[in-house]
Amino acid sequence: MKLALSLLPFIALSSWCAEENPATSIHRIEVETADRIQSGILNPVLGVGRSSVFVRLGLSVERHFENSDKGGKGRTTSTKFQKPSPRPESDIYISSTTEIVQEAQQVKSQTEERATTSLRYTSFDAVILHDVNIPPKRLDAVREALTAIYKSEINLTFKEIEFNREHRERSGTPPN
C-alpha cells in the first residue's frame, strides 16, 4: 500500500536511525499526522473544539545492512645471479655469485558500509470523534477531503459524542 505523503511529516521519515526506537518513530508519525488532519481539515470544516482525530498506522519496516571489505597484500622479490667469469690467465673459472634481492610490499584495505531502511504502510485508520450537533453535510465534506488526499488507503470511522459546551464556548466555536 502506498500512501500520499502530503500530510505525513517528512521529518519523521528521517528518524529511522539506529539510535531511535522504531515504535517511538511510528507513534510520532501517528501524532503528527493526526495534528495535521485536525488543524488542516477538521478545525476549518467542523469548527475548533468540535472534533478530535486519532490515527493508527500499520507500518512495515525493513532494514538492510551491507558490509564490504576489500583488501590485499602483495610482495615482489627479484633475485639476480651473476655467472662465473673465466680468468684470462687460466682456464679455471671462479665462481663469484652476487645475489641482489629487492622486496616491495603494499597493503591496501577498503571498507564500505551501507544501511537502507524501507518504510511501507500496511494500514491507515482514522477515528474522528465529533459533536452530535454537527450537520451530516459537514461530515461528508470531511470524508471527501480525506479521501481526496489519501485516496482509498484511509479507513475512516466517525463517532458522535457530546462535546462539553463550556469547552466549545471557550474556544469560540458556535454550536452550528
Counted domains in the chain: 2
Same domain, 35 and 74: no
Whether 14 is in a domain gets the answer yes
Secondary structure (DSSP) of 32-71 = HHHHHHIIIIIHHHH-TTSEEEEEEEEEEEEEEEEEEEEE
Q: What is the CATH number of the domain that holds 141?
A: 3.30.300.20
Instruction: Write the CA distances from 15 to 4, 28, 48, integer angstroms.
Output: 19, 10, 31
Tell me what the mean pLDDT of segment 14-21 comes to: 53
Show the domain range for 19: 10-63+116-171
Same domain, 126 and 48: yes
Whether 1 is in a domain gets the answer no
pLDDT of residue 111: 82
Tell me what the mean pLDDT of segment 33-49 comes to: 94
pLDDT of residue 71 exceeding 80: no
Whether 36 is in a domain gets the answer yes
Same domain, 107 and 124: no
Tell me what the mean pLDDT of segment 80-92 comes to: 59
Whether 132 is in a domain gets the answer yes
3-state DSSP assignment of residue 91: coil
Whether 77 is in a domain gets the answer yes
pTM over 0.75? The answer is no
| pLDDT interval class at 52 (50, 70, 90) | very high
Whether 176 is in a domain gets the answer no
Same domain, 97 and 137: no
Same domain, 58 and 98: no
Q: What is the distance, to the nearest Å, from the Cα of residue 46 to the centroid of all Cα atoms in its chain?
A: 34
CB-based burial, 59-89: b 16+ in 10 Å, e otherwise: eeeeeeeeeeeeeeeeeeeeeeeeeeeeeee
Same domain, 135 and 50: yes
Same domain, 78 and 17: no
pLDDT of residue 125: 93
Same domain, 126 and 42: yes
Same domain, 120 and 166: yes
Length of the chain: 176
Task: Pick the more confident residue, 129 or 117.
Answer: 129
Whether 93 is in a domain gets the answer yes
Q: What is the tens place of the pLDDT at every residue in 141-160? A: 999 999 999 887 789 999 99
Sign of CA dihedral 137, 143, 149, 151: negative
Same domain, 140 and 53: yes
Q: Where do we find the cell 500512501?
A: 3
